Every structure is written in C-alpha cells, then in structure tokens.
C-alpha cells in the first residue's frame, strides 16, 4: 500500500514539475507577442474594472514575477512589474484574470466567499500543521490523537486547494469572455490568451491533487498505527 502511494506521490511531483515548466514556457512565449492595440496590463485591468462598474478597486504594481493577485481586503489588483507595464498577450490575459477575481468579489461569487472565509483558518493551520504532524507521527503509539489533529488541520488546507479550483477557473472564464466581447483580443490572439490561462489553471489542479495525496498518506499512517 505504501509503495503504491509513493508511486502516486512521485508521479504527481513529476507532473507538477512538467506543468510548472510548461506554464513558464507559455508565459515566456506570449510575453513576447504584443497586443495589436498596444494596451498594457494596467490599461486592460483598468478598462475591465470600469466596464464592470467597479470603481473602488485600484490597480497597482508589485515586485516579482508571477506575483499577480487580487487582494479583497484592500481591494487592489496587484500586477507584477512585467505584467503591469507590458503590452503583451500574456500581460492582458493575466490582468484580465485578476480583474475576474475583483468581479467575483463585487458580485459575491459563492466559491470566492468560501475561500475568503477559510483564509484565516488556513493561515493558522499552515503555520503549525507540519509540527503537529511530525509530533503526531513520533508519538503515534502514546498519543495518536495528536496526529489526528494534524490530519484535520491538513484537511483544511486540502479543502482550500479544491475550493480554489472553481475560483480560478471562473476568473479565467470571465477574463476570456470580457477580452473577446470588449475587442481586446481578436480571432488571432483569443486562442493565445486562452492557452496562457489554461496552462496556469493546470498548476492549481496538480497542487490540489498533490495535497489530497499527502492527506491520504497521513491518514494511512494514522490507521496503520491504530491497527498495530
């Protein structure tokens, strides 16, 4: 049983590496293809927010690469420097995707509300879960409840990973639909934007599956300890 798990775990790790490398390759490729209208990531983001009637969200630049995100707390669309100032296909797709989250927030999209509600719990769990799991495995015979607590904490992070999937996929769908209807992308560039966002979505799928596989591993250890 454990050998089967390690085959699964290694398989997911390899797939994760392939998906991550493929995503970076796609973004590098589409970052070199300029938008026909010359709009930067900032321009695209501000236009999408404006056309969706969102006036209380700011678009700002943040350091790093692939650090783009929407912050519902201070209502900011944070675009990495290569996206913020670039007029590439990749920049337009990423900017629209992050604005898709802002639209979700403005329309009270259910899965986003669930994910936001879990953030404090996940933040707390992430800080202690590895130590609880380690202690639980070391003290499995004497105090099996500790490992069970660690499993529950880890299960919360796994649940968070799976709730993230519909949030990210929906944001991409909103982005692609708006890019097309607003005339930002055309028949030549629409497929490129879709390809870029699809590659990013795969990373979330693999991360969720990896988290689930790890959770099952800890459950197997707990059940094995109980039987012995």
Which residues are marked as active site? Answer: 98
Burial 122-148 (b: 16+ CB within 10 A, else e): beebeeebeebbebbeeebeeeeebbb
Structure letter (DSSP) for residue 139:
T
Task: Of 30, 29, 52, 25, give the one whose Cα is nearest residue 41.
Answer: 30
Which residue, 73, 99, 71, is CA-closest to 84? Answer: 99
* Per-residue tokens: 207: 């991360």
- The CA distance from 159 to 218, in Å, is 15
Q: Tell how strand 58-62 and strand 69-71 pair up.
A: unpaired
């Amino acid at each position: 049983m454990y050998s089967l798990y390690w085959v699964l775990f290694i398989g997911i790790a390899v797939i994760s590496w392939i998906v991550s490398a493929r995503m970076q390759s796609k973004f590098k490729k589409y970052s070199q293809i300029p938008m026909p209208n010359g709009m930067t990531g900032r321009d695209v983001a501000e236009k999408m927010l404006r056309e969706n009637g969102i006036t209380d969200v700011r678009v700002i630049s943040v350091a790093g690469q692939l650090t783009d995100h929407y912050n519902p707390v201070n209502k900011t669309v944070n675009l990495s420097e290569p996206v913020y100032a670039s007029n590439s296909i990749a920049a337009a797709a990423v900017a629209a995707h992050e604005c898709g989250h802002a639209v979700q927030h403005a329309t009270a999209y259910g899965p986003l509300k669930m994910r936001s509600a879990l953030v404090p719990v996940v933040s707390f769990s992430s800080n202690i879960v590895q130590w609880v799991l380690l202690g639980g495995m070391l003290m499995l015979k004497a105090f099996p409840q500790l490992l069970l607590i660690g499993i529950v904490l880890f299960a919360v992070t796994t649940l968070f990973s799976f709730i993230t999937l519909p949030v990210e996929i929906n944001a991409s769908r909103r982005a692609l639909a708006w890019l097309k209807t607003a005339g930002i992308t055309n028949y030549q560039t629409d497929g490129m934007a879709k390809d870029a966002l699809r590659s990013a979505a795969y990373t979330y799928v693999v991360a969720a599956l990896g988290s689930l596989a790890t959770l099952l591993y800890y459950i197997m250890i707990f059940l094995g300890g109980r039987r012995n």
